[in-house]
């Protein structure tokens, strides 16, 4: 795994050798402050530089574009179409301004390898946008990336959430996937802390809709290891990792990642954090319906481990810590992530020799609630995260007192024991 610098402020990428393929993730915030088009082309050029540096030909699979101004999306779509031509990645547009003042930032996932096969599928019809799916196969494994699910501003978040979940389910099925194999979800909700007519926060309504949608789904029936607690799986207490975060406007954007294939030595391990109450066990004081997600999801494929870390904040057990102190909240949040992915925690979950360190983080998103807190938050991240590629955006967090939320993915190896 690498964290090489790229020619741009806040730009870097990470690599994981999967044997049959090579996975790349690039995080880019443009350095220039020209027109939107100039900044977008700079970001795309930096991404292409990362792809062309690799010895294997790389194909972009999925990208998330964080926008300062929703009016720039149409121009961005034209620039992306010109850049990728007939082989576009699936794309989500998120209305979160980069903390640096740039017009956009982008995260791009790509893959290369002689045996890699990429399948593209026509987007579903909108409105307001069509959910897209793309499948990639290599070495007996198959992934389905789903992006672009969106709902226009509406009176209540419950219906918006059900709409994007149904969009994603339809897109996955069109690509030969199943929602029960989703390992990671993202929800970007406008007005996340605002009340609705029923008196509940919009985030609470999202949780209620997600819970209702998940009620008929049993995740990963054949992908959990034999030692995983059977009672958890039997009672449906196994969920994808997830981020639920705010964005500008009143809409909802979403995406997901599903793992479809099975082969010997491959399994999924949902992770909880000893420092935190499982989100699905929160009491009603935190939310009218508990958020149904795992703190992290680890995929074991031979000795390679990819760990998707859910949106994490300054919460110990189920209580928010360090109100109105962004530096202490950032420290606590990173400490929570460090404990979650540690070798000790993997061992508590039944797997020895696995785990990751903060220096194994391959891509990090930092969501900062108040723009004036950016520099102090970034100083802590730069000191703790060992140069991992990071994108910083302005976004509201699901509790009013929380000032920062961090999600990440870690690339690591399982060592012999």
Question: What would the DSSP string read from start to end of 260-287?
Answer: ----TTEEEEEE--TTB--GGG--TTT-
- pLDDT tens for residues 363-397? 999 999 999 999 999 999 999 999 999 999 999 99
Residue 275: pLDDT band (50, 70, 90) is very high
Whether the ω angle into residue 211 lies within 30 degrees of 0, i.e. cis, is: no
* pLDDT surpasses 70 at 407: yes
The pLDDT value recorded for residue 294 is 96
CA torsion sign for 114, 111, 354, 278 is negative
* pLDDT surpasses 50 at 234: no
User: Mean pLDDT across the chain, nearest whole number?
Assistant: 91
Whether the ω angle into residue 12 lies within 30 degrees of 0, i.e. cis, is: no
254, 168 in Cβ contact below 8 A?
A: yes
Strands 266-271 and 22-28: unpaired
b/e burial code for range 354-383 (CB count within 10 A of at least 16 → b): bbbebebbbbbbbbbbeeebbebbbebbee
- Say which DSSP state 98 is in: B
**Distances from the Cα of 181 to the Cαs of 72, 142, 222, in angstroms?**
34, 11, 10
Report domain extents, the chain.
12-413
> Cβ of 317: how many Cβ atoms within 10 Å?
10
The pLDDT value recorded for residue 235 is 46
**Could you tell me the pTM of the whole model?**
0.95
The pLDDT value recorded for residue 267 is 93
Compute the average pLDDT of residues 108-127. 87
List, in sequence order, every residue forming a beta bridge with 25; answer none if it has no partner.
14, 109
Residue 2: pLDDT band (50, 70, 90) is low
């Amino acid at each position: 795994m690498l964290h090489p610098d790229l020619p741009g402020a806040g730009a870097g990428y990470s690599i994981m050798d999967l044997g049959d393929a090579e996975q790349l993730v690039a995080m880019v915030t443009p350095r220039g402050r020209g027109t939107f088009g100039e900044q977008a082309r700079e970001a795309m050029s930096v991404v292409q530089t990362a792809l062309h540096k690799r010895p294997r030909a790389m194909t972009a699979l999925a990208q998330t574009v964080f926008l300062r101004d929703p009016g720039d999306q149409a121009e961005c779509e034209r620039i992306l179409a010109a850049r990728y031509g007939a082989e576009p990645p699936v794309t989500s547009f998120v209305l979160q301004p980069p903390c640096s003042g740039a017009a956009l930032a982008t995260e791009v996932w790509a893959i290369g390898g002689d045996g890699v096969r990429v399948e593209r599928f026509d987007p579903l019809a909108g409105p307001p946008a069509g959910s897209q799916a793309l499948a990639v196969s290599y070495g007996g494994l198959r992934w389905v990336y789903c992006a672009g699910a969106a709902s226009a501003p509406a009176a209540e978040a419950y219906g918006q959430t059900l709409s994007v979940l149904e969009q994603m389910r339809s897109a996955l099925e069109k690509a030969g996937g199943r929602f029960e194999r989703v390992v990671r979800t993202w929800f970007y909700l406008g007005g996340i802390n605002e009340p609705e007519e029923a008196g509940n926060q919009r985030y609470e309504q999202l949780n209620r809709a997600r819970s209702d949608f998940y009620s008929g789904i049993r995740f990963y029936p054949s992908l959990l290891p034999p030692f995983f607690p059977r009672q958890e799986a039997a009672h449906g207490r196994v969920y994808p990792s997830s981020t639920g975060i705010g964005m500008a406007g009143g809409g909802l954007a979403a995406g997901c990642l599903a793992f479809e294939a099975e082969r010997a030595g491959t399994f999924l391990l949902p992770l909880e954090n000893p420092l935190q109450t499982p989100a699905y066990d929160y009491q009603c004081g935190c939310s009218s319906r508990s958020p149904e997600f795992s703190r992290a999801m680890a995929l074991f494929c031979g000795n390679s481990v990819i760990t998707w870390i859910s949106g994490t904040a300054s919460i110990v057990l189920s209580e928010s810590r360090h109100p109105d102190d962004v530096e202490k909240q950032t420290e606590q949040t990173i400490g929570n992530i460090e404990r979650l992915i540690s070798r000790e925690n993997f061992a508590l979950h039944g797997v020895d020799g696995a785990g990751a360190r903060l220096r194994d983080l391959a891509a990090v998103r930092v969501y900062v609630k108040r723009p004036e807190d950016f520099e102090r938050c970034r100083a802590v991240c730069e000191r703790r995260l060992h140069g991992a590629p990071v994108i910083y955006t302005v976004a509201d967090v699901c509790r009013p007192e929380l000032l920062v939320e961090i999600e990440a993915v870690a690339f690591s190896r399982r060592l012999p024991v």
